[in-house]
Amino acid sequence: MKIDLIGHASLLVETEDCRVLMDPVFFDPFCEGLNESCPKRTVFPEKIPDFDFLVISHQHLDHFDIRTLASLPKNVDVLIPQDKLIAESLVQLGYKSIYPLREFDKVRIGSTVLMTTRSEVRVPEFGMVFADSSGVFWNTVDTYFAPPTIQRVKKDYPHIDFLLSVWHISMEGKYQYNQSLSFPFGLYGELFHLISLIQPSAIAPGANGFKYINQSSWQNRIVFPVTRERFCRDLETAFPELKKNIYTLDPGDVFTIDQGKYSYNRGQSEYAQMILDDRECLEFSPVNVEKNLLDGNPENYDLSKMKSHIAEEIEINLLNFITEYKDLIFKEHCRWSVIYQLEVIFPDGSQKWFIDFSQDKIKVEQGRNAIANLFSYITASSLFSLIEKKRDWDYLLCSGEYRTFQKVYAINKLGIIPADASLLKDPLELRLSSQYIQGNNIKLEIEKWGNTSQDNLDTEEDINPMLRIGNLLIKKRNLKKSEN
């Protein structure tokens, strides 16, 4: 069995007996101009061979693309969920052989069987199992599959060779409906429990190869809480027996199954090609939604001085501090394998560093780490003010010039355990703590605004001090006032 990833959820599956084109979206942008493929790709529709079945998993426009469907040959059998809108649209496009399927319906051609799988999300939709003598491939697409569905699939197919799994716990609409933007620990943990019930021999993260563009691009900060790299790392942790059979598919990649043997050929598809891996734009950062962090540099610090001092603070002083207190202050960071990502926003751009506490020898490295799980963002001028003891953390928080969030957890095949965020403070905050600042900014304010002339410092002795009796303070009546 051969699987070509055309992009996002678009697949061409070739079994021993047939070719199946599933959820074809060939043109960018799609979804009414809101989305495009990510990573970027180019598709060669003219090179796609004749196929026997066209499968539409559901009506969402990143799977049901009218422009693409209009361009395809109409003399194929079309397999769809029981969705009147999809059926009527296909008829209008000129398709004749349309077959609405129920959950766990089967289609057989030769030795190949296609079986729909149930989704707990009640938009009419299905996943699909592809089976022939070479193996069994389950494409879950966007479906949320529950234990009864897994039992039903494994009744017919006890061994799943390859699982193309839902993985990203999409968070569309959370911001718009005033719902939590916190990392979805519960759902993500449940997903790993479900994968443990399937027990696939090989696995890859499935449909999620798109980004928001233009006026909707701000959603990239909040919709995709897990990076593909993090999901694969978590799979390795939860299922060490799968480590050699965890794959990542980009547009243009080809995966083959042959009786327990797997072949992964990057960029070998004739029908699609990845042209740019631009997934960094999908960085989950709910504290930066809509209003990105900008450094107005209100104190007019010298830019070159800021850059050199900040680099020294992070790459030398912070590293030395962590090394010295690794087994004390940073014990929990190490225990939870924290990967700390720090982004400093300068007036002319930003710079990133990361620190991997899971390593025996901790070091500070420049750049982005795709599996980071503790994130901090700070303007350069605010960080410089901390270093110079001119501002404190209250100022940074109230000004909005510092933001942080975490998605730290332990994971295994039974689920997920979120870390106690109170034990995993920002290393920068621990290094430049309020004890480090020691009220220096208050002293500066006093020097700036206080009148320290000797005349004002000379005061009369208090002739009527309060008396303390246990935990009670008593003020005597002012005799001068009583005399008046």
| pLDDT digit string, tens, across residues 216-240 | 788 899 999 999 999 999 999 999 9
pLDDT reported for residue 450: 58
User: Residues with Cβ < 8 Å from 174, sequence gap 6 or more?
Assistant: 180, 181, 222
Helix%, strand%, coil% for the chain, nearest 5:
30, 25, 45
pLDDT band at 255 (very low <50, low <70, confident <90, very high): very high
Does residue 79 contact residue 54 with C-beta atoms inside 8 Å? yes
Domain boundaries along the sequence of the chain: 2-282, 303-441
Q: Average of pLDDT values for 129-138?
A: 98
**Residue 452 scores a pLDDT above 70:** no
Q: Does 448 or 478 have the greater pLDDT score?
A: 448
**Residue 280 scores a pLDDT above 60:** yes
Mean pLDDT across the chain, nearest whole number?
90
What 3-state DSSP class applies to 367?
A: coil
List alpha helices for 125-272, DSSP H.
147-156, 185-198, 228-238
**Residue 45 scores a pLDDT above 50:** yes
pLDDT band at 484 (very low <50, low <70, confident <90, very high): very low
Q: Average of pLDDT values for 121-147?
A: 94
Question: By C-alpha distance, which of 288, 283, 301 is closest to 354?
Answer: 283
pTM: 0.82
pLDDT band at 460 (very low <50, low <70, confident <90, very high): low
Q: Does 456 or 259 have the greater pLDDT score?
A: 259
Q: Average of pLDDT values for 296-308?
A: 94
Residue where the block lists tokens 């355990």? 417
Q: Does 439 or 455 have the greater pLDDT score?
A: 439
Is 303-441 CATH 3.30.1050.10? yes
**Which pLDDT tens digit goes with each residue over 18-35?**
999 999 999 999 988 889
pLDDT reported for residue 479: 47
Counting Cα atoms < 13 Å in the Cβ hemisphere of 120 gives: 8
CA–CA distance, 221 with 289 (Å, rounded to integer): 6
273 bridge partner residues: 42
pLDDT band at 446 (very low <50, low <70, confident <90, very high): low
25 bridge partner residues: none
pLDDT reported for residue 366: 98
pLDDT band at 261 (very low <50, low <70, confident <90, very high): very high
List the single range of 170-174, 336-340, 364-368 with lowest mean pLDDT: 170-174
pLDDT reported for residue 325: 96
By DSSP bridging, strand 40-43 and strand 10-14 are: unpaired
Radius of gyration of the chain (CA): 30
**Residue 435 scores a pLDDT above 50:** yes
Could you tell me the CA-to-CA distances from 128 to 1, 124, 156, 196, 249 in Å, in that order? 14, 14, 13, 19, 18
Residue 422: how many other CB atoms lie within 10 Å: 7
Q: CATH code for 2-282?
A: 3.60.15.10
Q: Average of pLDDT values for 277-293?
A: 87
19 bridge partner residues: 14
Q: Do domains 2-282 and 303-441 have the same CATH topology?
A: no
136 bridge partner residues: 131
Q: Average of pLDDT values for 254-278?
A: 97
**Residue 202 scores a pLDDT above 60:** yes
CA–CA distance, 453 with 450 (Å, rounded to integer): 9
CA–CA distance, 7 with 29 (Å, rounded to integer): 12
Question: By C-alpha distance, which of 107, 118, 121, 108 is closest to 151?
Answer: 118
CA–CA distance, 254 with 263 (Å, rounded to integer): 8
CA–CA distance, 127 with 116 (Å, rounded to integer): 6
**Residue 405 scores a pLDDT above 80:** yes
386 residue type, one letter: L
Helix axes 303-312, 380-387, angle to 10 degrees: 60
Q: What are phi and psi of 345, to 5 degrees?
A: -100, 110
Residue where the block lists tokens 């209250």? 394
Q: DSSP secondary-structure letter at 145?
A: -
Does residue 131 contact residue 158 with C-beta atoms inside 8 Å? no
**Which pLDDT tens digit goes with each residue over 74-124?**
999 999 999 999 999 999 999 999 999 999 999 999 999 999 999 998 789
Query: What is the percentage of the chain residues whose pLDDT exceeds 90?
Result: 76
Cα–Cα–Cα angle for 387, 390, 396, rounded to 5 degrees? 80
Q: What is the DSSP secondary-structure string of 237-276?
A: HH-GGGGGGB----TT-EEEEETTEEEEETT--SSEEEEE
Q: Tokens standing for 431? A: 């290094």
pLDDT band at 249 (very low <50, low <70, confident <90, very high): very high
**Residue 442 scores a pLDDT above 80:** no
pLDDT reported for residue 480: 46
pLDDT band at 47 (very low <50, low <70, confident <90, very high): very high
**Residue 199 scores a pLDDT above 90:** yes
On the 0-12 / 13-18 / 19+ scale of CB atoms within 10 A, 10 is: buried
